[in-house]
Amino acid sequence: MEQFKPVVFYLPVRQEIHEWPYEVKKDFGDILTLIQKGSRVGMPSVRPMPAVAEGASEIRARDASGNYRAFFVLHTAQGVVVFHAFTKTTQKTPWKEIAIAKKIDYKGLWRSWRVCDEKKQKRCGGKKSR
């Protein structure tokens, strides 16, 4: 049986992704599942984003209505933290989105989820998938 790495979603990310078209959410989920399994995923689906944070990458999904992005950090031993998502409207990633992502304490999200998980609480700090 394959071991999946857990995923922690920052609540605003979950809300943003909820608004995306069905096919984009499906593509995003497929890419995220590969990452959880430990598969190496590169362009065009995943791109490193060192301007955002050390070890950060973006999941890239698109359809006829536009381009969609989600920033994540993969902690190989622990799992994945998805900490910012947005609909991309320009050729380059807007600096505004990078600035927002830089302000998010993704390490804190991971720590709060770990504490929550250890206490066996249903919800706090993020959502564990699979």
Mean pLDDT on 100-105: 84
| Among 44, 39, 40, 82, residue whose Cα is nearest residue 61 | 44
- Predicted confidence at residue 23, as pLDDT, reads 95
pTM: 0.76
Measure the CA–CA gap between 87 and 4, rounded to whole angstroms: 27
- Predicted confidence at residue 15, as pLDDT, reads 92
Please determine, for residue 118, whether its predicted confidence score (pLDDT) is greater than 50: no
37-93, pLDDT tens digit by residue? 888 899 999 999 998 888 889 999 999 989 999 998 876 567 888 989 999 988 888
Contacts of 120 (CB under 8 A, 6+ apart): none
The SS3 assignment for 67 reads strand
**Model confidence band, residue 5 (pLDDT cutoffs 50, 70, 90):** confident
> Where are the domains positioned within the chain?
7-118
Element (H, E) at 63: strand 56-63
- Measured from the Cβ of residue 60, the count of other Cβ atoms closer than 10 Å reads 18
Which amino acid is it at 27?
A: D
Which has more pLDDT, 115 or 31? 31
Which has more pLDDT, 106 or 17? 17
- Predicted confidence at residue 31, as pLDDT, reads 95
Contacts of 116 (CB under 8 A, 6+ apart): 123, 124, 125, 126
